[in-house]
DNA sequence: CACATGACTGACT
DNA sequence: AAGTCAGCCATGT
């Protein structure tokens, strides 16, 4: 079953690597990751890659990745709908109504933090 | 091959 | 400020 080509694997690994570089208590959005991959328009592909994070052997803190609105849009893709919010709160991030509080303050931009 | 959907974003009205 | 439309790439029907 070859759902994913090797080239896509490379894309996934790039996304996962960035996500794993997100510091504890910080979050980022799909656009920032896409931009770090030189594909700012492929924000959807980032979400697509995250969908494959479940198959990855290495742990990927996908709960630290949200949309530009700071909303936990991908929580439904977690093992449980509350896993994402719970994981964020565990790191000291306030989450109300599936939205991250002070999202702008805890926002982590890979393009800046990774000195791209 | 064409249409619809999706862990998105930006621009326009 | 809030709502709507279009662009984006890959997958599924």
- The CATH topology of domain A4-106 is Arc Repressor Mutant, subunit A (1.10.10)
Under a CB-based contact definition with an 8 Å cutoff, are residues A85 and A111 in contact?
no
Pick out residues 62-81 of chain A having their CB under 7 A from any atom of nucleic acid strand B: 62, 65, 67-69, 73-74, 76-78
The pLDDT assigned to A7 comes to: 78
| Rounded average pLDDT over A6-24 | 92
pLDDT of residue A116: 58
Average pLDDT over residues A39-48: 93
Classify residue A27 by its DSSP letter. B
Q: Is the dihedral of CA A56, A62, A65, A70 positive or negative?
A: positive
Give kind and range of the element (H or E) at residue A111: helix A110-113
What ranges do the domains of chain A cover?
Answer: 4-106
- The predicted pLDDT at position A1 comes to 58
Residue labelled with tokens 């490379």: A10
Å between A68 CA and C11 C1'? 24
Predicted local confidence at residue A47, as pLDDT: 94
**Nucleotide lying nearest to A73, CA to C1' measure:** B7
Tokens of A4: 């994913």
């Amino acid at each position: 079953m070859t759902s994913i080509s090797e080239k896509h694997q490379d894309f996934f690994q790039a996304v996962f690597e960035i996500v794993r570089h997100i510091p504890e208590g910080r979050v980022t959005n799909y656009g920032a990751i896409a931009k770090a991959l030189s594909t700012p328009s492929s924000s959807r592909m980032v979400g697509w890659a995250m969908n494959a994070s479940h198959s990855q052997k290495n742990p990927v803190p996908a709960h630290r990745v949200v949309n530009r609105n700071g909303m936990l849009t991908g929580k439904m893709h977690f093992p449980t709908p509350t896993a994402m919010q719970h994981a964020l709160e565990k790191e000291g991030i306030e989450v109300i109504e599936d939205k991250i509080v002070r999202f702008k303050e805890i926002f982590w931009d890979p393009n800046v933090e990774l000195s791209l």
